[in-house]
Structure 1
């Protein structure tokens, strides 16, 4: 990654500083700070002379995979959802003008709050009573997203609304089989699960915007437990909302769950609602029938196993640096995801 003299990679700071007031009302001088995370996209916090905060985001430098790091897709989603009850960052401007930057980028408002990655972070941010509200606001937000007709917010062409689970099964099973060589690791459960899940795909209802990675790690929470924004819409599309809620339920870890040793899951602490309570609240808010949740949860654990397997394969093949990466933990996570998928699948046989 190449950075300019000011340490900012991917942007000409003087050019953006001169342009930003025209779309945001911001006033210079500006300070820039790199924000980590964001699926490798280059993301910076920009603060103006009056303390107003903006986030600017562009794809990584270098050669990219087709359709990866689609800034317009992300921006149009938050732009469409901004007037709705789903909390997102305020969209400011999307630009594909090469005189401003050598890649397309967008600017959004900065939102206060903290994502929940670990129990340590939860303990520092949320007291016991706030954790209950955090769980409720978490599932209420997903219910609100799934209650919106995509065409009503300009997102009716975001993807194919039907056949979501079948397409996902094909994609991720294909990823697994393609990665077996590099991973030097196969598991017969993957193949039997794919066969079972493919033979029992439920009939899908109305297509909705599905986030695809809606967990406590992709939501910002305030200290009172309210959810201030949903982040990282990079893989959002149209699809089956029951697959989306099932992913979120899987991500909502409870004490005694089968997780890798040493993982500091945030939602195991006292005060958070149970998965059952979240599902009941979601069903009450959407009218959804969750009787097939074992299928959708098994599907998501299968998908998780395939995703982590692909990541493990890329590291093992030297396609990504393993510096700071616990390869044994990655391998363990694959097995645990398959264990959990098998457990859920027993209820759909």
Structure 2
């Protein structure tokens, strides 16, 4: 058993809970760490009946409590069970921290691929299915934004109005509480964004971290499940589209300081293709998308700075200066990209 499994799973207690609360689950259980770190930890769980589940719990070193609320994440996925949004089947939520030291929830494992790098993108998808994966990613986002929150019991999930203003206040507060140095571009972008907030239409579900590697994709390029709902809320749907295009760099796009360079592999669509596909399906006005891209870059700069600060403080383990330099550089690059996106606005 790995160190992460040993630290994150109280095997005897969790096994008892699974047998008592998940229909059909039967021990002994095999726990394996899948992913996590700064985000919620994800474990594979297999039982004696050949059932395959996934268990999610907060990271061992907590950051923002609101970003690791298991009940909130479970509630969203559970509410979407009978919607058009592909999500795993939920199997149970444990709020009793005596069981495992922190709340956790369990859902079914979903077969498919998580596209994290160009090697995977080229080996599991063809050029044609990479195009289809690009389209399906956008189409699935439109399904998320089309959910009637009152019909799925999410009317009171969060405030509906003033999403961008609330987010600016939240993340600027986090920046000022955790910043490791002065970065004037963060302040400039904050002030400019606050002045130029577009009028928000009807609130929709906002995933908050929507990107290809937070989805499970079939070999045919279809999105099988949307994962990682840990910062979901209700608000302005174009925030999700802006963030998606910040993460995304297509074959013909100018390079991004962010991740997801694997979408430069031939067959994937370019950023503008994603935006146009979204606009065509939803009918939403996307002429102000550079505002949302600027906001996404700025927010990511604030988030990465928080991770960097926690590493410097020793909360996330020991790292050398060389290992920490990418966090510092990425914060600065994202802040600069936010200014560039703002400069494109009329």
Q: Which residue of 1 aligns with 2:325?
A: 328
Report the equivalent of 2:71: 72
Counterpart CA distance in 1 for 2:276 and 2:67 is 36
Q: C-alpha offsets along residues 266-301 of structure 1, whole Å, 9 cap, x if unaligned?
A: 111100111111111111221211111111111111
Greater mean deviation of Cα atoms: 78-87 or 26-35: 26-35
Q: How does 1:88-107 map to 2 (within 5 A)?
A: 88-97=87-96, 100-107=99-106
Structure 2 gap segments, 5+ residues each? none
Tell me the CA shift for residue 68 of structure 1: 4.7
Residues of 2 paired with 1:286 and 1:266: CA distance? 27
What is the deviation of 1:264? 6.5
Aligned twin of 1:54: 53
Residue 218 of structure 1 contacts residue 231 of structure 1 at CA under 8 Å; is this kept in 2?
yes
Measure how far apart 1:239 and its partner are.
0.8
Matches within 5 A, 1:140-159: 140-159=139-158
Structure 2 equivalent of residue 118 of structure 1: 117
| 2:248 pairs with one of 227, 246, 252 | 252
2:288 aligned with 1:295, yes or no? Answer: no
- Aligned partners of 2:52, 2:315: CA distance in 1, in Å? 36
Conserved 8 A contact 2:61-2:315: no
Q: C-alpha displacement at 1:62, in angstroms?
A: 7.3
- For residues 19 and 48 of structure 1, the distance between their equivalents in structure 2, rounded to whole angstroms, comes to 13
What is the distance in 1 between the residues matched to 2:186 and 2:246? 18
Task: Determine the structure 2 residue equivalent to 1:341.
Answer: 338
Moved more, 156-165 or 100-109: 100-109
Q: CA deviation at 1:331?
A: 2.2
Report the more deviating stretch, 222-231 or 61-70.
61-70
Q: TM-score if structure 1 supplies the norm length?
A: 0.89
Please state if 1:269 is matched with 2:265.
yes
Q: Secondary structure at the match of 1:8?
A: helix
Give the structure-2-normalised TM-score.
0.90
For the pair 1:9 / 2:7, whether they are aligned, the reply is yes
Instruction: Tell me the SS of whatever aligns to 2:82.
Output: coil
Equivalent pair of 2:207/2:231 in contact (CA under 8 Å)? yes
Superposed CA RMSD: 2.5
Separation in 1 of the partners of 2:62 and 2:173? 23
Instruction: Work out the CA distance in 2 between the residues paired with 1:189 and 1:100.
Output: 45
Q: Does the CA-based 8 Å contact 1:259-1:336 persist in structure 2? A: no
Change over 3 Å in CA distance of 1:328–1:8 after alignment to 2: closer
Please state if 1:179 is matched with 2:178: yes
Deviations 1:50-109 (A, max 9, x none): 422011223345777644521111111110011111111100111234664443321110
Question: How many pairs were matched up?
Answer: 342
